[in-house]
Structure 1
């Protein structure tokens, strides 16, 4: 592999955390907007009956995508560190990438806080499903704003510092 091809691959590598953190953030937005519809008061009776089934199916279908994106962010940042030449631009970007990878890991570490809410929604609490979903949505929104959005910003800034010279 010649020098040009290697630089091209390294450039692409720097974009992977941006893409994976963007996907994580988009999935968080999709989760919130899709599940928030179920809390509407005008269809409350119907929603109380379907929330548990819908949430379980929705959560199960999206959880592997979210975990995959988070792991992709962390692994690609590790690869960037491995291939970095540690020039001044690379040093600046590495701090941003490290913060993005740590925030991606934090998303996974928050699961013990969210787990009881997920289990409550899976159990079908009958008349408490909407309240349980609203609780989960509040925590999900907070995690998205405090962890996922800053992770995305860090990865974007890291890529900009690395690629714009």
Structure 2
């Protein structure tokens, strides 16, 4: 009884996919900012090529747990909300958001080679690291536009509809 006064677990359940998909969008935006900055340094291309392989390797491996956590929670709680079918107007939005969040991982076969290229690039002025990062960004932008932002939008609509019914 006291928990309902300060904290409503049902509201948390309804909002959780929106919060975690928002975190996913923030991570995607940060990735764009950090890596696009390297690619945009045209006058410093030789220096960037020297540091890109180790920078991207550290960047990639440190970001991976956040990706799995945010998408995992979004998918899981989106499915829990959709299977509960508590409100006819929102359960299908949760299901769509979960499907789109899961579709993020459908890009793994395409992006894994870009990751390998960036990490395996030679650490020298003509090493190709900048081109590898640009290849990763190209896939990243498409994935963000096709699945990440639409997943967030579905969770937003689902949350608004669900909270209206509580």
TM-score computed with the length of structure 1 as normaliser: 0.90
| Residue 52 (structure 2) aligns with | 51
Structure 2: how far apart are the matches of 1:50 and 1:72? Answer: 34
Kept after mapping to 1: 8 A contact 2:82/2:92: no
| Residue 124 (structure 1) aligns with | 121
| Residue 19 (structure 1) aligns with | 19
| Residue 64 (structure 1) aligns with | 65
Q: CA deviation at 1:84?
A: 3.8
Which one of the candidate residues 66, 91, 99 is aligned to 2:88? 91
Matches within 5 A, 1:1-165: 8-39=8-39, 40-85=41-86, 90-125=87-122, 126=124, 127=126, 128-165=128-165
Q: CA deviation at 1:75?
A: 0.9
Structure 2: how far apart are the matches of 1:23 and 1:147? Answer: 14
Structure 1: how far apart are the matches of 2:83 and 2:161? Answer: 17
CA RMSD of aligned residues (A): 1.9
For residues 40-91 of structure 1, the C-alpha deviation after alignment (integer angstroms, 9 at most, x for no partner) is: 2021111000001000000100011011100000111122234443xxxx12
For residues 83-135 of structure 1, the C-alpha deviation after alignment (integer angstroms, 9 at most, x for no partner) is: 443xxxx1221111111100111001211110110001111245211111111
Q: CA deviation at 1:4?
A: 5.0
The runs of 4+ residues in structure 1 deviating greater than 2 Å are 1-5, 81-85
SS of 2:88's partner is helix
For residues 124-159 of structure 1, the C-alpha deviation after alignment (integer angstroms, 9 at most, x for no partner) is: 245211111111111101111111110000000000
Residues 3 and 42 of structure 1: is their aligned pair in 2 closer, same or farther, counting only changes over 3 Å?
closer
Count of aligned residue pairs for this structure pair: 160
Structure 2: how far apart are the matches of 1:63 and 1:76? Answer: 20
